[in-house]
Amino acid sequence: MSNERNQTPGKVIIAGAGPGDAELITIKLQKRLAEADVIFVDRLVNPEITDLYARPDALVLMTGKQGYHDGSVAQEDINKLLVGHAQNGKTVLRLKGGDVAFFSNVLDELQSLSEANIPFEIIPGITAASGASAYAGIPLTARGYAKAVQFITFNPCSFYTREQWKAWASSSDTLVFYMAARNLEGLAELFLRHTKKPHTALAVIEQATTEHQRVHVSTLTNVKSDFAAVQFSSPSLVIIGDVVKLHEQFDWYAANKTGSVFNELVTVK
């Protein structure tokens, strides 16, 4: 008897859903949402995206992860689900927050698909750094402020050498830290050990590009006092560098939402 599953394999589309705003997805992703039989959705994906664009009969499954919390779906299980549904002839869409190439487990998934000979496609998305900086009016490499930008993770699993911290502390690049808001005091302390510019500007952007966006501005030396009572909601992004000074002048998003309870601007002087 022939194995129909192996003769008619499906495929997997791995796509970035952007930083939050449901309108910040690509036309290609919108088309693939309308085609997908099964959609695996990360925690940070705006549910409006599947509500608006997925097929009514599509199977939508949450496969989110959240640091510091139990209940996350194991990556190994996600890999098996992607392969299994595709082997059953389904068009599978793996929907990730931001862009698939920025601090996600895309490599594990690609390796699993490749080993199982499952066809796949990758659709880029707007990463959190681009979305957060744009909606906060902070150009990441503004001429005269920064010549480059670095994207870095900072969480309990991160380990960087003393030499690396010295390099970041002395750099004129814009530094964007993912997953850092819950340990912001520790991050600032590491910089203050090595920097000659303790008053370097720092911004924390909560729930960027959504109606709940909040922007908090301080400096390395004032983080502890300014944010002692602040609990940053997830997701939050940290930007360090002179470009943060441009926020007050070019904060177009908050200006468009003046008076809205969903977009309270929090600027600490």
- Active-site residue list: 42, 65
The Cα 211–Cα 253 span in angstroms is: 10
Work out the burial of residue 241: count CB atoms within 10 Å of its CB; fewer than 13 is exposed, 13-18 middle, 19 or more buried. Answer: buried
Residue 191 C-beta-side C-alpha neighbours within 13 Å: 27
The Cα 183–Cα 67 span in angstroms is: 12
**What count of other Cβ atoms lies within 10 Å of the Cβ of residue 249?**
8
**What count of other Cβ atoms lies within 10 Å of the Cβ of residue 261?**
8
Query: Phi, psi at residue 187, to the nearest 5°?
Result: -65, -50
Report the interhelical angle of 75-87 vs 106-115 (nearest 10°): 40
- Identify the DSSP state of 246: G
**Any residues with CB less than 8 A from the CB of 3 and at least 6 apart, and which?**
none
